[in-house]
Structure 1
Amino acid sequence: MPSFVMKCGGSTLAALPDLFFEELKQLQSDGIVPVIVHGGGPAISATLEKLEIPTQFVNGLRKTSEEVLDVVEMVLSGQINKQIVRKLNQAGAHAIGLSGIDGNLIEAQPVEGHEEIGFVGDVTQVRADLIEGIIGLGAIPVIAPLGIDAKGQRYNINADTSAGAVAASLGVEHLIVVTDVPGMMKTVNGEKVILPATTEAEIQEMIQSGEIYGGMIPKVKAALKCLQGGVSEVVIVSGTKPGVLGRVLRGEAEGTRIRKSQ
């Protein structure tokens, strides 16, 4: 069985030190099995720009036409996914990369307001048995956040949303969101400080006040949905500190822990 789900942006993973991948390998060797769900927004934007395909965002989500979707699939499944698999294999781990389309791993439907945003999906079901089968082969699953519906339509799915759905479907205790910042930031007396812990209610207040905005909104909403799905906590951390995953799993102070409101 998987021990935790880790979500990481493609650009963040590309910048992580070799020690991070070596820690993932060590965790796998110790029987602590990670499932990785990754994004790749900056690489998608860069490729769209090279191809002179316009792109825009609506409430932190990329507006996705069929033309944009072709690029999203190419970059996520073909470029970012295989980079991560290569880095894990080079570190001595055993990893298998796939997207949510493979084996209907992530079933999806259009998001609310899809008329404005195109082929962006919400997760309706995750095939936990397929992920567990890969783990049974002794491999770390590395998942690109694409989805598919019963008619074969592909969907671009926010990576945080996908990771939350995967974590809930697997019944893991921890979803660890690895970023290039040390955690959620809050303004206190005019200064930005790390929020060590927060709850669903506090996050809703920060969204209403505008303190959480843009691309952070789908990130924290995915965290809340994940908690509602049975995951004990979501932890947002920086991946640049050696041993960060082990400290999170041991319950030591690190990043921002999001828990259910009491």
Structure 2
Amino acid sequence: MKYIVIKCGGSVLENLPKSFYKDVIALQQTGEWTPIIVHGGGPLINKLLKSLNVETTFVNGLRVTNNEVLDIVEMVLSGTVNKQVVRNIIEAGGSSFGVSGVDGSLLKAIPTSNESLGFVGEVVEVNTSVIESIVNQGHIPIISPVGIGADGQRYNINGDVAASAVAKALGANLCFISDIPGILVEKSGEKSKLDIVTKSTVEELIENKTIYGGMIPKVKAAIDGLVHKIPEVGIIDGFTKNSLIDYVNGKNIGTKIVLDEELVK
């Protein structure tokens, strides 16, 4: 049995087809894979912040988070979005259990080194026993990326960073679900997908702004995971039927991110 951490961003979650959730359930039913979903919720957070006239800004794709923003982030992520994903799995015929990174100190966190981000955290430890307990009861874990400090302080954790941390702790494969086929580059006015990309190429693509905004923490989390022995990281299109199944079966789906030395092998 192998763990696979599936990260779904908020913009993708709003429109994912039922077939995606059926694929997640099908993975679990093979007995070979144990899926875990880590989700975001950016668009819904933005919508609620706007309706409440709370200003928010971003630095390199990460939301600057004060206490007022943090209350809304937790409400949306651990409440509305988390339970929606749980319901979607149930509706598709599966069983799931939603949990926040705060619950059972699942995601133990400290503040990021960038103090200007406020209560944005990085994960220093994952309490894997919480995940294992949910899995052993036959449920698919659905994790909201809100972390908790040793002093009880909550932290907004970027969903990609949280997913990478969970995958590292479990030695799991990591798969980012996107609404595009993978990392795209433009050549002669046409966009094409990169089937495989190395750490150094990713750094070049960030430098020349081919990779920008919310994709930056995604690929950085992927590389950090690989450095810490995550077996494999991929970015795939969740809107294509069977894409998740095809990906775990080794078909040429999405973009696979590897360390430079792996490509040389």
Tell me the equivalent position of 2:235. 236
Tell me the equivalent position of 1:187. 186
Residue identity over aligned pairs, in percent, reads: 47
If the length of structure 2 is used for normalisation, what is the TM-score? 0.95
Displacement, 1:190?
A: 3.2
Structure 2 gaps, min length 5: none
Tell me the equivalent position of 2:105. 104
Displacement, 1:14?
A: 2.5
Displacement, 1:2?
A: 4.8
SS in 2 for 1:3: strand
Q: Could you tell me which amino acid in structure 1 is paired with residue 57 of structure 2?
A: Q
SS in 2 for 1:224: helix
If the length of structure 1 is used for normalisation, what is the TM-score? 0.96
Would you say 1:35 and 2:36 are equivalent positions? yes
Tell me the equivalent position of 2:149. 149
- Asked if the contact 1:2/1:132 (under 8 Å) is kept, the reply is no
Name which of structure 1's ranges 104-113 and 67-76 shifts more when overlaid on structure 2: 104-113
Q: Could you tell me which amino acid in structure 1 is paired with residue 35 of structure 2?
A: P
Q: Could you tell me which amino acid in structure 1 is paired with residue 204 of structure 2?
A: E
Question: For the aligned residues, what is the CA RMSD?
Answer: 1.1
Q: Could you tell me which amino acid in structure 1 is paired with residue 88 of structure 2?
A: K
Tell me the equivalent position of 2:117. 117
- Asked if the contact 1:99/1:105 (under 8 Å) is kept, the reply is yes
- Residue by residue over 1:182-226, the C-alpha shift from the partner in whole angstroms, topping out at 9 and shown as x without a partner, is 111112233221111101111112222222222211111000011
Displacement, 1:106?
A: 0.2
- Mapped to 2, the partners of 1:241 and 1:190 lie a distance apart of 25
Displacement, 1:90?
A: 1.2
- Residue by residue over 1:30-75, the C-alpha shift from the partner in whole angstroms, topping out at 9 and shown as x without a partner, is 1121010000001000000011111111111101000000000000
- Mapped to 1, the partners of 2:61 and 2:10 lie a distance apart of 17
Q: Could you tell me which amino acid in structure 1 is paired with residue 64 of structure 2?
A: K
Tell me the equivalent position of 2:19. 19
Structure 1 gaps, min length 5: none
How many residues in Structure 1 have an aligned counterpart in Structure 2?
260
- Mapped to 2, the partners of 1:10 and 1:203 lie a distance apart of 23
Tell me the equivalent position of 1:10. 10
Tell me the equivalent position of 2:46. 45
Tell me the equivalent position of 2:71. 70
- Mapped to 1, the partners of 2:206 and 2:233 lie a distance apart of 17
Q: Could you tell me which amino acid in structure 1 is paired with residue 193 of structure 2?
A: I
- Mapped to 2, the partners of 1:34 and 1:177 lie a distance apart of 13
- Asked if the contact 1:28/1:93 (under 8 Å) is kept, the reply is no
- Asked if the contact 1:22/1:91 (under 8 Å) is kept, the reply is yes
Tell me the equivalent position of 1:254. 253
